Amino acid sequence: MHQFQGRLENFDFNHWSFHVAVPESISSKYIQENTRRVLVTINSHGPWHMALFKGKNYWYILVNQEIRTKLNLQSDDILNITLEKDESEFGHELPEEFQVLMDQDEEGNAYFRALTPGKQRSLVYLVTKVKNSESRMKKSLAIMHHLRLSKGKLDFKQLNEMIKYYNNL
């Protein structure tokens, strides 16, 4: 675990603009050949699953609007940051509803595990962001159904249609 203070800054060139630079002495400890995932605590709130990104001159973490709003953060605020290695398998905690389906559906599980880590993380996040257990189960069912029907070829447009179908059941 590493702690530091950083300034919330704003890139001028894109919508992923709010970030905090991470000192090289700290970022280098979290960068491995296949992952840069970290758990980030900001001003004693969190942790949030994030990634370290490389800019021209430094590594940084992105601070999204949801976090900025929740913590009432403004550009140029000085933040107390704690970084820890993200040991989770998918870059997010796997919701119980999704885990149960993966345990029961060998074919769907195999298709899911054949996806790239980024696609796996995206699908887990789709389920994780839902607060209601019944809705998490419906979304999990839709994902597994889509993966089986598409033989593991992820098509987000078709997946969204499947999710709408399951939400209306």
pLDDT along the chain (169 residues), means of 10: 93 76 91 82 93 89 92 95 88 85 90 91 88 89 93 91 88
CATH architecture of 2-85: Beta Barrel (2.40)
Residue 37: predicted pLDDT: 87
Residue 33: predicted pLDDT: 66
The model carries a pTM of 0.69
Q: How far is CA 38 from CA 26, 92, 106, 113, in A?
A: 12, 10, 30, 21
Domain residues of the chain, as ranges? 2-85, 96-167
Q: By the 8 A CB rule, do 75 and 81 touch?
A: no
CA distance 97 to 123: 13
**Mutual angle of helices 133-149 and 156-167, in 10-degree steps:** 130
Tokens matching residue 108: 């769907």
Q: How far is CA 104 from CA 72, 98, 114, 124, 126, in A?
A: 42, 10, 17, 17, 20
Residue 89: predicted pLDDT: 80
Residue 88: predicted pLDDT: 81
Residue 57: predicted pLDDT: 87
Residue 140: predicted pLDDT: 92
Residue 115: predicted pLDDT: 93
Q: What is the largest CA-CA distance in the chain?
A: 52
Q: What DSSP designation does 107 have?
A: H
Q: In what order do the strands lie in the sheet with 53-54?
A: 45-51, 37-42, 78-85, 2-10, 18-22, 59-62, 53-54
